[in-house]
Amino acid sequence: MVDLVGKRGAARRRRRLRWRLYLLTFLALSIGVFTVLDAALKPILEQVAAQQVHLAVVRLINEAVYDQLGNGVAYQQLINVSTDTEGRVTLMQPDTVKITRLVTSIARDLEEKLGGLSREDIKVPLGLLTGNALLADKGPNLTMALLPLGSVSVNIHDEFSAAGINQTRHSIMLDIVVDMGILMPFQTTFTQISDTLPIVESVIVGPIPETYLSIDSALAGWLSPGTNQK
């Protein structure tokens, strides 16, 4: 009787040992599969997340610029132009006060819009990670939260380009750079979105006047890092 009980006890111990080995094997395989999948999908997930965030931020950039320029801004409001009696341009001078006010308003508006975006989640279908167009909208969604990093840079510059015989196009452009963090499952990544948008332009007939101060030089003493960095 004692031998029978002992044999049953030994059998139970062997069964428990086998189950523990099965469980350890299952956990090891699961960890291995997860590690392989994570290594394979992480770069794709980061790329897809950056693309989705880029689209969302560019949309807000366009909205912020339109909010400030929707009623139109004339070239003459930003650049003071003087001509001689024959209509030739003799002096071009940026209006630093108006330009600074415009840049600051756009940066502030964009920062507010990005603050609203951070309260929204971006959902990416798992099928999008396969790279297959047929599966792009299939499967459950991965939810990603946006983390504003507090870095919005809005600057302005001008460009000259040929516009015809004895004609030069003068364009005033906005340079906008936004840093964003993306909180994804099991990881956080960061991306930078930059965009350049035209504000106004004018065609100058004849040579560019020698007495012209570029916008970059004119604003050197007006736009400090604390002004265009929000």
pLDDT digits (tens, 9 = 90+) for 163-184: 778 888 888 888 999 888 877 7
Q: Rounded mean pLDDT of 100-122?
A: 81
Strands (E), the chain: 79-83, 89-94, 121-125, 141-164, 167-184, 187-205
pLDDT in tens, 13-54: 677 777 777 777 777 776 665 565 555 566 777 777 788 788
pLDDT score recorded for residue 150: 55
Q: Residue 212 — very low, low, confident or very high, per pLDDT cuts 50/70/90?
A: low
CA dist., res. 139 & res. 126, Å (int): 5
Side by side, the strands of the sheet bearing 167-184 are 121-125, 141-164, 167-184, 187-205
CA dist., res. 52 & res. 189, Å (int): 13
- Is the predicted pLDDT of residue 192 greater than 60, yes or no? yes
The SS3 of residue 117 is helix
CA dist., res. 104 & res. 97, Å (int): 11
Q: How far is CA 57 from CA 3, 51, 70, 108, 229, in A?
A: 76, 10, 19, 15, 16
pLDDT score recorded for residue 176: 92
- Is the predicted pLDDT of residue 6 greater than 60, yes or no? no
Q: In which element (H, E) is residue 99 found? A: helix 96-117
CA dist., res. 119 & res. 180, Å (int): 13
Residues with Cβ within 8 Å of 96's Cβ and at least 6 positions away in sequence, in order, are 218, 219, 222
Residue pair 122/52 in contact (Cβ under 8 Å)? The answer is: yes
- Is the predicted pLDDT of residue 64 greater than 80, yes or no? yes
CA dist., res. 104 & res. 100, Å (int): 6
